[in-house]
Amino acid sequence: MKHFPIFMAVEGRAIVVSGGGEAALAKLRLLMKTEARITVFAPNPAPEILQWAAEGRLTITARDFAAGDAKGAVLFYAANEDDAEDARVAALAEADGALVNIVDNLGDSQFITPAIVDRDPVTVAIGTEGAAPVLARAIKADLEERLPSSLGLLSRIGKAFRAKVEKLPMGRKRRDFWADYYFKSGPAALEAHGETGVRPALDALLDHHANAETRIGHVDLVGAGPGDPELLTLKARKLLDAADVVIYDRLVSPEILELARREAVMIDVGKEGFGRSTTQDDINALMIEHAREGAQIVRLKSGDPTVFGRLDEEIDALDEAGVSWRIAPGITAASAAVAGIGQSLTKRNRNSSVRFITGHDTKGYAEHDWRALAREGEVAAIYMGKKTARFIQGRLLMHGANPDTPVTVIENASRPAQRTLATTLAELPGALAEDDMSGPALTFYGLAPRAALARLETDATPTAPRQQKEAL
């Protein structure tokens, strides 16, 4: 992020514009929506600017901008549509202490003006740092369709009512009141009785929430998916947005965590195989403690919470404590990873079943039915298999697995940094050592990426397995 978004206080403050043509007009149409004092410097201002000056909406000075003209101004726009003149006035305004924007010159500007959706006092600003103005306009158009014009009126009425709402305690009780007003009671009152019916509805709503019993806490056990925020389910997104507390695992991506409310308490309870770990008892205690305080909790797990997430232990603890819960499943890491190599987990005449196994469990290296896995055509998705690769290789070879069986390791499945290592069972530990994968990875035994599989089927030379070991 090269431009940090803020909302500048401009009420009663000076904003200066140099220029009187089309570029200045475009900026002034936006600036006149504010309560700033606007001054325009232009020898030959457009008729619209002269009309606005006559209406008292701005002040016009019919000459070129000069040193000292931006003294005390909070913002300055160079909009002369002439590079040399814009550079001259920008330097003078900066010397006067104003923040400077040069229209259509991102590199020399100190700030940029975003695309704006105006539902005063609700304002949505959209910026792309100059990279894609057409995208900003498309997002603006989409938001304008989604946000009703009545939102501004409801917001202004609500703003005037805020002092009375302070009788409600901070936190969930107050948030529940405002959510009820903006999404249920307020729009209903406005539609049924017009503006005059909104204030009585607010008074009745406040009495209702003030006298309502404190809501009992609740836990949602939510699958965060493999990491790509676009693969997060709609239900998971809504639950994150409503959560007071988010208790999350190490493998949950930062992009997913960014979707939680800024006010939410974020608690990292990450576990790492053969490394640092928060005990399961401590995680259970945290959920119960916050639920008893009335919090809405999201227990956020990478992938799907029903796959190697110790879900049953957490549910048992919540049941014993009398805390309500529900499960919001997520897309599994295996589904995302196998999609990334263009394969399916099962295939006619290859394998009619697939095994989901873990490289280690609470007791250490995990044992499985290695003899069954070693059969020709078997497929397994191996979680936490990176550090146990040599153990897994040894067990499979010991039970008769073909050393040339394809093995694919996928790091950061579904994320921009996704990488794929295609190798064989015989070379798995060495390939991992050479590649030095550091991110979360999932291992597929019996599957090769579709492109590598095609080459394997046409290349029967003795060195083929080593040739297929590659970071795709």
Instruction: Report in angstroms the alpha-carbon separations of 472 from 167, 315, 408, 425, 464.
Output: 60, 40, 11, 18, 16
How many helices and strands in the chain, by DSSP H and E?
18, 20
Q: At what angle do helices 172-180 and 150-165 cross, to 10 degrees?
A: 150
Q: Which residue has the tokens 């010991």?
A: 398
Closest by alpha carbon to 106, among 126, 78, 125, 141?
Answer: 78
Q: Read off the DSSP letter of residue 11.
A: T
Q: Please name every residue paired with 220 in a beta bridge, in sequence order, or none if there are none.
A: 298, 326
Distance in angstroms (rounded) separating the CA atoms of residues 116 and 332:
38
Q: Rounded to whole angstroms, how far apart are CA atoms 321 and 229? A: 32
Indicate which residue of 118, 176, 235, 271 is catalytic. 271
Please indicate whether residue 249 is annotated as part of the active site. Answer: yes
* Among 86, 220, 228, 249, the one annotated catalytic: 249
Q: Do residues 424 and 456 make contact, with C-beta atoms less than 8 angstroms apart?
A: no
The answer to whether the beta carbons of residues 332 and 303 sit under 8 Å apart is: yes
435 is catalytic: no
How far lies 240's CA from each of 53, 221, 298, 413, in Å? 49, 11, 7, 22
Which residues are tagged catalytic?
Answer: 249, 271
